[in-house]
Structure 1
Amino acid sequence: MEGDFITINKKLLALSWFYGLGVGIRNMLFEMGILKSRSFSVPVISVGNITVGGTGKTPHVEYLIRLLKDQFNVAVLSRGYKRKSSGFVLSDKDTPMPMIGDEPYQMKQKFPDVAVAVDRKRTRGISNLIAADNGLDVDVILLDDAFQHRYVKPGINILLVDYHRLVIYDRLLPAGRLREPVRAKDRADIVIITKCPRDLKPMEFRVVTKAMKLFPYQQLFFSTLEYNKPEAVFKDLENMENIQSLDALAGKNILVLTGIASPQQLMHDLQEYNSQITPLTFGDHHNFKRKDVETINDTFAQMPEPKLILTTEKDATRLMVVEGLSDEVKHHLYALPLRIAIMQDQQEEFNQKIRGYVHKNSRNSILVKGKNDHQSADGNSAGDRPRTISFRNH
């Protein structure tokens, strides 16, 4: 049920009011044009949220990468949260995880031919990605977690909302988990309700649609998580069990090791395959220290056979560089790959919107427009000139 993961600390509501005042003033400065939003010459798609973590940004960005990479030169720009570097960093296949952060590293390992960069200043990052002398020839840039980064004006602004934490029922920080007031959702071109139960009923879709109160220029989609077979984190070790599907988890004792913002959905979904689950949770983007490693080793050692450890792909990127994991843990540690699926038979509609925007606003289209405009001007004919359009004109 919507809102079932929301808890409000009413004692902190007064502080939330002051926090909201500050955010409201900042947004007002952008609306008045005192703070400037910058547009760019290539299509820019932003994927983000207005809550603190846990809406599934990375799998949705990966969905867009898979959708576009065969037709366009795709670049991903992220802040690189908790990375041990500064400024603009363009990664390659050998860039270590601490230099760019766990999520960018995960995407670069999955999509080695896609340009993945990090920069806290997104305008500078985009400028570096589209610079003429960098040899990238970028057709489209995907901004990871940039809904609040208003210095960039994206062509499509995608807002992700957790089905279990609908923003309309949440409150501002620190009483709730909203980073902006609910009305900030009005900036989105597309809203996706994420982590929906796979068996969601038609009436429930209608209830959520009505409750979100979107404007006519906005479109609402629903997505759900789909899990692939677990993959060994330490692939070079011998005698690793080859798990062919999630059905193979039945009868095993599972330690679910997570350092993500909202592990509840994962725990719930795994119950379908195995009820013998021991959760071991840490904070989002957690850097595992010696004490944490000892806890992992000891917890798993005490579990009865047969057993294994499941973790997320994001956590796996950090666990791979952690020292002190026991051989037993390494031989039983598996990452659980996941993808998102667009629900209600709207996947093709969503895909066409994204592809159509990139086609119409790509550099090739702009070059064609400039050439045709020049020819029309030479002939003193107004004609029906082709023009580059953004996703919405309002």
Structure 2
Amino acid sequence: MPHPLAFLLLPFAWLYAGVLHVRNWLYDRGLKESVAFPVPVISVGNLRAGGTGKTPHVAWVVRQLLAAGQQPAILSRGYGRRTTGYGRADATATAATIGDEPLQHYQDFGGQVPVVVCENRRVGLETLLREVPGTTAVVLDDAYQHRRVQPTLNILLTEQQRPFYQDYVLPAGRLRESRGGARRADAVIVTKCDPALSGAGQAAIAARVRRYARPGVPVLFSAYAYGAPVPVGATPAPLDPEIVLLTGIAQPGPLRDYLTQAGYRITHHAAFADHHAFTAADIAALAGQLRPGQSVFTTQKDAVRLLEPALRAAVAPLPVFYIPIQVQFLADGAAQVQHLVSSLFQPHAVV
């Protein structure tokens, strides 16, 4: 149930949900235009605002496309950037010019995968396909509610600990639209799962999801695999079990849990809002929390923003490390997503 104070906001949530329902109805009936494109468009998004794991799941899908010999590109809104309109990541890009998540994608793939940003995904797709005509697939990062584009494959993410079926529409909850929006999904992935989640536990969650999804839509489960700390700057220090944690993400809980289980003791957690633009004052305050021998641990998305040109001099002397994460599917989830993706490129027999 929502927090008691949220009940006061329910009328506003119902009004907001009603407006979105009408909007979606117009798209579903073809009264508002939704454009299809000549290459497969794979959308990875959510119903809940923030924190469901879109960035690592987008990267996972892109790796599958590369492994299959495709030439994918990534299109994002570029949330948090200080620019507007269409833009393409290059060696001069910063989090301020294209956003932290697109910059992370660009760096992860060494610039070999085109990464573009545009608030209007239709305009972004049209421009991308003109600029990079060899593109064979486009992965949309966080475009589940962007109905102007008709995705070929619509992947919906929801967290195990915060599933959409237990949440409410803004402002009473954190849903961007009603739970019924799950009917547009071609696959639902329950993210950030306990790797030991039992088959019975998966079945119980899947049954709740299927109350809202279309019949036959696969419900899959994924977990995070955390890697060894990676130095952000050129001043790494011996890793002491006592650390300072710095986060500017929506859900830092799973990272805190992992670090605790891995034997680290967090002496201070500087927790900021998602996509927080770090300042020199933030870095100075962080440095003041460090004891001799301690390091600062952060996420890869936060590390991207820490390396903004205006902050590099302040960050350089500090022993900062980020914890990389990758997606691992439970059971046969990886094979099912790979099948869904590969089927987009199979020729269809003419009847």
Q: TM-score, normalised by structure 2?
A: 0.92
Deviation at 1:295, TM superposition (A): 2.2
Structure 1 residues 26 and 256 mapped into 2: Cα distance closer, same or farther (>3 Å)? same
Letter in 1 for 2:320: L
Aligned to 2:56: 59
CA shift digits 1:2-31 (9 cap, x unpaired)? x9xx85722222221221122122112212
Distance in 1 (alpha carbons) for counterparts of 2:113 and 2:313: 34
Structure 1 residues 325 and 118 mapped into 2: Cα distance closer, same or farther (>3 Å)? closer
How do 1:108-257 residues align onto structure 2 when only pairs under 5 Å count? 108-111=106-109, 112-131=111-130, 134-213=131-210, 214-234=213-233, 237-238=234-235, 240-241=236-237, 252-257=241-246
Distance in 2 (alpha carbons) for counterparts of 1:169 and 1:328: 40
Aligned to 2:259: 270
Structure 1 residues 7 and 286 mapped into 2: Cα distance closer, same or farther (>3 Å)? farther
Letter in 1 for 2:56: P
Aligned to 1:79: 77
Count of aligned pairs: 345
Kindly indicate whether the alpha-carbon contact (under 8 Å) linking 2:209 and 2:219 is maintained by their aligned counterparts in 1. Answer: no
Structure 2 unmatched runs, 5+: none
Structure exhibiting the larger radius of gyration computed from Cα positions: 1
Q: Percent identity?
A: 34
Letter in 2 for 1:104: P
Q: Secondary structure at the match of 2:261?
A: coil
Match of 1:286 among 276, 282, 287: 276
Distance in 2 (alpha carbons) for counterparts of 1:136 and 1:93: 21
| 1:349 and 2:346 correspond | no
Distance in 2 (alpha carbons) for counterparts of 1:233 and 1:222: 31
CA shift digits 1:69-96 (9 cap, x unpaired)? 1411110000001212221112223323
Q: Secondary structure at the match of 1:17?
A: helix
Deviation at 1:178, TM superposition (A): 0.4
| 1:38 and 2:35 correspond | yes
Deviation at 1:324, TM superposition (A): 5.8
CA shift digits 1:261-291 (9 cap, x unpaired)? 1111111121111251132110000011343
Match of 2:65 among 63, 68, 90: 68
Aligned to 2:287: 297
Letter in 2 for 1:80: G
Kindly indicate whether the alpha-carbon contact (under 8 Å) linking 1:76 and 1:143 is maintained by their aligned counterparts in 2. Answer: yes
Structure 1 unmatched runs, 5+: 243-248, 370-384, 388-394
Kindly indicate whether the alpha-carbon contact (under 8 Å) linking 1:293 and 1:325 is maintained by their aligned counterparts in 2. Answer: no
Aligned to 1:105: 103
Match of 2:92 among 83, 91, 94: 94
Backbone CA RMSD of aligned residues: 2.1
Kindly indicate whether the alpha-carbon contact (under 8 Å) linking 2:42 and 2:152 is maintained by their aligned counterparts in 1. Answer: yes
| 1:24 and 2:21 correspond | yes
Q: Secondary structure at the match of 1:26?
A: helix
Deviation at 1:331, TM superposition (A): 3.3
Q: TM-score, normalised by structure 1?
A: 0.82
Q: Secondary structure at the match of 1:193?
A: strand
